[in-house]
Each structure stands twice: as structure tokens, then as C-alpha cells.
Chains A and B, each alone.
Chain A
């Protein structure tokens, strides 16, 4: 199966809303062996000026990989997930993610490059927090939270 070169430049609009919960922040923090009290203790987070528990720096991967799944599961993409290797990852945070945030992600396919029999695919998720009443639709304002960039190598046969 070959990777569809027409993927480059494709975008997937914001789909489902991700509600950031306190227990999810605590669970993710424990899973990456984080111990900073701002992930666990509301008073410690507030003492640093945050409105609620603060997510660890790589928490946005949950939302980014959900967005990436739209591409990987797109039958037109030609991507075999069992042959995917994560090559690089970047997070740029415009403001911290905190419990209570309602997040959406727009996915952009920034690069598709043939590598041997496989391909390197670079995607970017623009993650926004919904403000106001938080429902998706016209008239809802949103604020940029994080930009995540990820490259995956889809190994070709024999790679």
C-alpha cells in the first residue's frame, strides 16, 4: 500500500470536543511520573496563579493523537498503523492547558515525503479552547492553546 501524495495540504476541521478533567490530568501526570503539586493539588495550582490543575507539558498529545486518528483512519490515506513509527514531536503552548478547558483540534497535513518504500508524514494540530457556552457552532469564540507538530514514518515493505 502506498501513501497518497495528495494528502499534503489536507485539513480536517475541529470535530469532537475534549473536556479536560482533573482526574485525567492526575492520571496522565502519574503515567509520565510527574510529581509537581500543580498537577495534583488545586491549592498548589492556584498558588502559582492558575485557575485549576495544570496539565503536564505533553498532555496535549491526547488531543493531537485523536486528531491524527482522523488521517490514519481515512481510507484514502493508505496508512497502515501497524507500520507507523513516531519520528519527532513538538509542543508549542500559547497558554497552559488547565482542568475545565473544552478543547478542539484542527488537523493540518503539512508534509508528505516518500522515504524508500515508505513515507514521512508531518501533521500539525491547532488546539483551541472554546469559550462562552462552549457549544460547537456559529458564534462561539475560541482561543489558541497549543500547536503540536508530529512526524510519523510509515515503514514500507522490508523497512
Chain B
């Protein structure tokens, strides 16, 4: 579990500054959990035959799983999940999750890193730009979180 970090101070930040990174491992079980938690039961996220039947190379992660997991880097950096007042992305590439059931191997690994994209001293906000990569390709584009700092 993460610990609550000391909240960043806007005047200490500069555009381009990195806020860190993390790896997100994904299994088929994670997708089933996300389906249940979110209510999105589209079978392309848990059934291989269905996914290939509609022309996908295999089971893919919910875009919203990736978007939701990627922002945790920002939430933990900000020190308060409620500080994220605006969060957007475009979904450009699917994250293929292989079936590693019964092993300790992840079915996919997503790499997330973040950097300060913009500062707005008047609004008291910073924009964090996320880079989200799977298998060497960006899967989220224009993934931007606006964080309100106290």
C-alpha cells in the first residue's frame, strides 16, 4: 500500500518536471474484476473466442481499466484523489492480455510515467501529462490530468 505523500506545492514545480513512473501488471483475472466493478461486461474483455470472432487479435483490456489504473500515479503524487479535477484521454491502441491463468506471469505489462505539462498559478492547478505504453506503443494519447493543489 502506498503512504499518503506530502502534497506538492505549485511554486516548486516546473513544466517538464517528471513525477515518476510505475509498471502495471494485468491478468485476465484483473479484467474480470474490472468488468464486475465497472459493470462493463463486453465479452471482448474476457472471452478469447468472442474477441477473435469480432476481428481482434485476442482479449483486450477495457480502455477504462487502463485509463483508471494509469491515473493512480497522479493520485498518489497529488496526495488526495479528489485533487484530480479533470482527466481525459484518447484510446489509440488495444492492450492485449494473454491468458496466463494458473501461473504467476502477467498477461500484459503497461508502463506509465508522468511529467508536468502546464502550470496555472491563477487557477492553482497543474496539468500532468501521462505517457502510457504497452509493448513499445502508446496506448493512451493526450492522457492529461489537471490537479488542483492547495
Binding site for B on A (CB under 8 A): 24, 27-28, 30-39, 44, 48, 50, 54-58, 61-62, 65-66, 81-93, 96, 149
Contacts and interface: CB of A to CB of B under 8 A. Distances in A.
26 contacts: A30-B37, A31-B33, A31-B38, A34-B68, A34-B69, A34-B75, A34-B81, A35-B1, A35-B2, A37-B2, A38-B80, A38-B82, A44-B4, A50-B82, A57-B84, A58-B71, A61-B38, A62-B39, A85-B91, A87-B90, A88-B88, A89-B63, A89-B89, A90-B88, A90-B89, A93-B86
B81 A91 contact: no
A32 B63 contact: no
Given A30-B37, A62-B39, A65-B38, A36 B75 contact: yes
B76 A92 contact: no
Nearest to A153: B91
B36 interface: yes
Identify which of B24, B37, B76, B145 gathers the most chain A CB atoms within 10 Å of its CB. Answer: B37
Contact of A48 (B39, B40, B63, B80): B80
A89 B88 contact: yes
Dominant SS among interface residues on chain A: mixed
Contact of A88 (B2, B38, B76, B89): B89
Nearest to B32: A31
Contacts of B67: 58, 89
Contact of A36 (B2, B34, B145): B2
